Structure 1
Amino acid sequence: MKNSKSAKATKLELFNFKSIPTQTFWITSISFFMCFFAWFGIVPFMPDVVKDLGLTPDQKWNSVIFGVAGTVFARLLVGKLCDKYGPRLCYTWLLVLGAIPVVLCGLSQTPFQFLVCRLFIGFIGASFVITQVHTSLMFAPNIVGTANATSAGWGNLGGGANRLGMPLIAAMVIGFGVAEAEAWRYSMIIAGLICFLMGIVYFFFTQDTPEGNFKELRASGTMITTKKDQIRFMKVIKDYRIWILFLVYAACFGIELTVYGTMDDYLQNTFQLERITAGNIVLSFALMNIFARTLGGHFGDKFGKLKGLRGRVLFLSCILAVQGIMLITFSGITSMVLGILFLILFSLSVQMAEGATFSVVPFINKKAVGSVSGIVGAGGNVGAFLAALLLKYKSAIAEKEAIASSEGLAADAVSAAQASASSAAVSSGYFLIGCLVVITAILALAIRFSMKEEEVSAESADISLEKLIPIKIENES
């Protein structure tokens, strides 16, 4: 693919609304926020859903797993579609079609219908991939890591903001005379309609690149696609670096999703906190996305200026190792004060690792950014899926043994034994996951770039090639 001189932004000017990259940044970030808001919008209402639809404990767990599993396939597919049709059309259709299962979730009448909706709602989690592709097309190499991390972090806020937002929507509809037991349904319908409207906004107010849309650029000859430039998907997946980043994103974003989903109960069982207090702590954990991801992308860019593409990888490996160590340490703490301290440090490092990951992704294969982003993004959901299965398996066994050993005791004693067993099981699970994260951090060091890739990146970012001499020597040794 050959383009005319690029008009990509070299600065992230948040209030320069005349700039096409800035306009795109805001619209894609808000769209991503709404997708995450709707994706996890049912979480605050799960007690109501369980009561209304009569979900069994297994069905409740399965709804969580289905919501994550559906995203894996969607992310793999949408990345490839972005390379072919451009992020503008892909995001438009994702928002419009993704709104359907969100609305239908509010209309579901049986557990089966609810689970099917949860599976398809997970597809809007692919919005992350399109967000990263679109910002990669809009921003120059010297700032792309920061732009990607900021848009992703602010979008991820939707997964935490729904803990406040969805109950507020429910309160609003109750104020209009809707029965409290039905409020969760109307809240999901409203969230779906907002996603649909964002799809309309995306179509009319964004474009694929600073120079224009893919279709118009190809028609005018500005963007020329030759057979040589058509990167086949099979060729893309043969690049070992993509699969290392797949594992890296599984070890950061995947673990963030899992910890976020299990931390409420863990804090209550381990530190005897009230549910509201535990929920507020977890909400604070999610709200750190306001700045933590941006820090990861920012330092990725900084290390890129100092040490080239290899510098980005070195920072990614270091911050991922810190994340693993923080989780390992947290897993063994029984003091509430220390526990919250290390939970904050874990939250900071895991979100920085996510930002650092996508400061590397745009440089793996510039002709197939969408496909690469899709594969790496899918890794996050695979990690969440496997980690959730691990914790569910360990916790279920421990709780069953605790119940069996407490047979004949008072209900409070059985409940206490079950909570203690669950806490110990999840703690050992966190420890194991933390160790795997550290191993993945070491594996990340295997990501290498050719001297040609380093030179192209340095030229695009206006970095002196003299800084790459040590990298050349290292690669040749």
Structure 2
Amino acid sequence: MNSTIGPDLDLSKAQKITAFIASVGVTVFARLFIGFLCDKIGPRKSYVYLLIFGAFAVMGSAFATTWEMYLVSRMAIGVIGASFVITQYHTSVMFAPNIVGIANATTAGWGNLGGGVTQAVMPLIAAGMLAFGFAESELSKWRPAMFVPAAIMFVVAFLYWKFTTDTPKGNLEDLPEEENSTEKKSSSSAFMEALKDKRVWILFAIYAGCFGMELFVNGRAATYYQVKFALNETTAGMVAALFGLMNLFARSMGGWLGDRFSKTGGLSGRVKWLVIVMFIEGIALTIFSQMDVLGVAIATMIVFSLFVQMAEGATYSVVPFINKKALGAVAGIVGAGGNVGAVLYAQFLLRSGSSLEDAFLYFGIIVSAIGLLGLGIKFSKEDEEAAVAEQKRLEELNTELRKKQAA
């Protein structure tokens, strides 16, 4: 779509990059606010409100006629990226601790995959708009196309309102008065509690090293193959798409393995897995940057993609256990780390004058170093014992269910 929007609005390369940075940057603040909002009013209302806002933002972008209007619309659309925080909050509340890692990772991974599908489908929708006479010209066909995702968002908002609840026990307003008052009391100080916890900021940095890197590579991979291997635009795009394709299973695998590590190592086991996968991610990126043979470069990129997305899943297999009363705040701050990382990587590339090849090399070393910070994430003895007790209770419950089913 950018290949159509840019010429239609006569955007320069600098303006396109600025719009990207602004869109990703505003998501940082949106994720922080949405995390707080989830703790305050629950994930159900938060998601519905965000979807409705997003639908109007997407529709509004169709009326942009100047660079300034386009920039504002891109920033408004960037706010929708905060939906990730609500999803992670909601799955953390709804799923048991022994499977919360894979639950979080799967919803997030398929969300990222949806972004890739959107890039592939929207040009087809735009072409359809032109073919059926809803657009005046080839350049303006993107404008009516924007109403399609907006309509889908309205539908999803309705479905989310009607068929979901804040917790397994029901919506916050339906909980017993004592439970509801406890929730509200905790939410008032939850954000400050999260801000003071160094573990949150370690996870913030780690998420900048995995999801932030995914955002950066997604936006630069095609260019990398065009410049280094002289591929044409179409072929480079197809090769680069392999990077995002790993979201089909890699992020889920990272969360699932986090759950598996917790069975023998408790909460510390989840952290150890996160450190391992982050360290390997950095090494894989470093190796990828040095490959000069196309086939080998593609293979190492896929390995890197596997580990970067497993690291994302591993991160959010740890997040639910940092502070359960400040879950929204923790999820929001950590989620914002990914966008901060993407902005920093893009700024480095713009200002340093380094080639993409050198940038990938530097970033690979940095990611491995960031991964080692995870060793600073510690849990109290009480938290570890509580996690072990919960794991044992769930295993006993599963055993009883199997016996009943067998009988």
Asked whether the two chains share a fold, i.e. TM above 0.5, the reply is yes
1:71-91 superposed Cα distances (whole Å, 9 cap, x missing partner) = 000000000110110000000
Farther off after superposition, 179-188 or 109-118:
179-188
Q: CA deviation at 1:196?
A: 2.1
Q: Distance in 2 between matches of 1:232 and 1:352?
A: 28
**CA displacement at 1:463 relative to structure 2:** 7.0
TM-score scaled by length of structure 1: 0.80
Kept in 1: contact 2:267–2:318 (CA 8 A) = yes
What is the root-mean-square deviation in Å for CA atoms of aligned residues? Answer: 1.6
Letter in 2 for 1:376: V
* Matching of residue 47 in structure 1 with residue 14 in structure 2: no
1:177-192 aligned at under 5 Å gives the runs 177=133, 178=135, 179-192=137-150
Query: Residue 462 and residue 50 in structure 1: after superposition, are their counterparts in 2 closer, same or farther (change >3 A)?
Result: same
1:391 pairs with 2:321: no
> TM-score, normalising length from structure 2?
0.93
Question: What residue in structure 2 maps to residue 85 of structure 1?
Answer: 41
Structure 1 residues without counterparts, runs of 5 or longer: 1-44, 399-424, 465-477
Pick aligned residue for 2:199 from 220, 235, 241: 241
Give 1:97's aligned residue: 53
User: What's the CA shift for 1:205?
Assistant: 1.2
Partner of 2:84: 128
Distance 2:185 2:74 in 1: 41
Post-superposition shift, 1:163? 2.4
Q: Any gaps of 5 or more consecutive residues in structure 2?
A: 395-407
- How far is the alpha carbon of 1:189 from its aligned partner? 2.1
Structure 1's 115 and 343: CA in aligned 2 closer, same or farther, altered over 3 A?
same
Q: Shift of residue 228 of structure 1?
A: 7.0
SS at 2:11 equivalent: coil
Residue 142, structure 1, aligned to residue 98, structure 2: yes
Cα drift, residue 222 of structure 1: 4.7
Q: Secondary structure at the match of 1:237?
A: helix
Q: Kindly indicate which of the two structures has a greater share of residues assigned to helix.
A: 2
Question: What does the per-residue CA deviation read over 1:388-426, in whole Å, with 9 as the maximum and x for residues that have no partner?
Answer: 1112223xx46xxxxxxxxxxxxxxxxxxxxxxxxxx11
Q: Is the 8 A contact 1:149 1:358 kept in 2?
A: yes
One-letter amino acid of the counterpart of residue 56, structure 1: S
Does residue 67 of the first structure (1) align with residue 23 of the second (2)? Answer: yes
Kindly indicate whether the alpha-carbon contact (under 8 Å) linking 1:132 and 1:373 is maintained by their aligned counterparts in 2: yes
Q: Tell me, yes or no, if the aligned pair for 2:193 and 2:326 is still in contact at 8 Å.
A: no
Residue 361 of structure 2 corresponds to residue 431 of structure 1: yes
Tell me how far 1:235 sits from its aligned partner.
Answer: 2.1
Counterpart of 2:168 in structure 1 is 210
Structure 2 residue aligned with 1:193: 151
Distance in 2 of aligned mates of 1:240 and 1:173: 51
- Which residue pairs with 2:403 in the alignment? none
Question: Shift of the alpha carbon at 1:229?
Answer: 4.2
Corresponding residue pairs, total: 392
CA contact (8 A) 1:129 1:377 kept: yes
Q: Tell me, what secondary structure is at the counterpart of 1:456?
A: helix
In the alignment, what sits opposite 2:253?
295
Encode CA deviations 1:23-72: one digit per residue, 9 max, x unaligned: xxxxxxxxxxxxxxxxxxxxxx2122221111122111111111101100
Q: Which has the higher contact order (CA 8 A, sep 6+)?
A: 2
Q: Please state how far the C-alpha of 1:289 moved relative to its aligned partner.
A: 0.5
Aligned residues with identical type, % of pairs = 48
Q: How many angstroms apart in 2 are the aligned matches of 1:188 and 1:432?
A: 38
Q: Deviations over 1:289-309 (max 9, x none)?
A: 110000000000000111000
* Structure-2 change in CA distance of 1:273 and 1:226 (3 Å): closer
Partner residue of 1:324? 282
Between the aligned partners of 2:191 and 2:262, the Cα distance in structure 1 is 27
Quick check: 1:163 aligned with 2:119? yes
Q: CA deviation at 1:168?
A: 1.7
